[in-house]
């Protein structure tokens, strides 16, 4: 795996896609996945809103432990600026607590 060149001018989405081009759980949460938005239900499940749709109509379930560990690894590889952006984003929607530390 080649190291990712980090510059402070890259957006969170650009840097995340350079770290891992295949879209994953963290990509969806940060807005560079296949869904326009992701939300979490009160019982911990995730729903997706497709682009052009008017509601959260795609049931995504819960992320596996493996997906959460991958998300943790992606967070660790982000630049400090974009890591803080990602953590703030996850915290603002109540999802920070599910990512292992």
DSSP string over 68-86: HHHHHHHHHHS-HHHHHHH
Look at residue 4 and tell me if it is in a domain: no
Q: How many CA atoms lie within 13 A of 14 on its CB side?
A: 9
* pLDDT-derived band at 2, boundaries 50, 70, 90: very low
pLDDT of 3-53, one tens digit each?
Answer: 444 445 789 999 999 999 988 888 888 888 899 988 888 888 999 999 999
Q: What is the pLDDT of residue 91?
A: 85
Q: Which domain holds residue 34?
A: 12-94
Look at residue 1 and tell me if it is in a domain: no
* pLDDT-derived band at 95, boundaries 50, 70, 90: confident
Q: What is the pLDDT of residue 83?
A: 93
Q: How many domains does the chain have?
A: 1
Q: What is the pLDDT of residue 51?
A: 92
What is the CB neighbour count within 10 angstroms for residue 49? 16
Look at residue 3 and tell me if it is in a domain: no
Separation of alpha carbons 14 and 24, rounded Å: 14
């Amino acid at each position: 795996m080649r190291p990712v060149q980090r510059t402070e001018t890259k957006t969170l989405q650009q840097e995340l896609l350079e770290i891992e081009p295949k879209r994953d759980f963290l990509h969806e949460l940060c807005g560079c996945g296949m869904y326009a938005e992701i939300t979490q239900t009160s019982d911990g499940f995730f729903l997706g809103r497709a682009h052009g749709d008017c509601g959260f109509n795609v049931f995504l379930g819960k992320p596996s432990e493996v997906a959460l560990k991958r998300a943790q690894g992606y967070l660790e590889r982000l630049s400090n600026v974009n890591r803080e952006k990602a953590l703030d984003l996850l915290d603002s929607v109540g999802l920070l607590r599910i990512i292992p530390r």
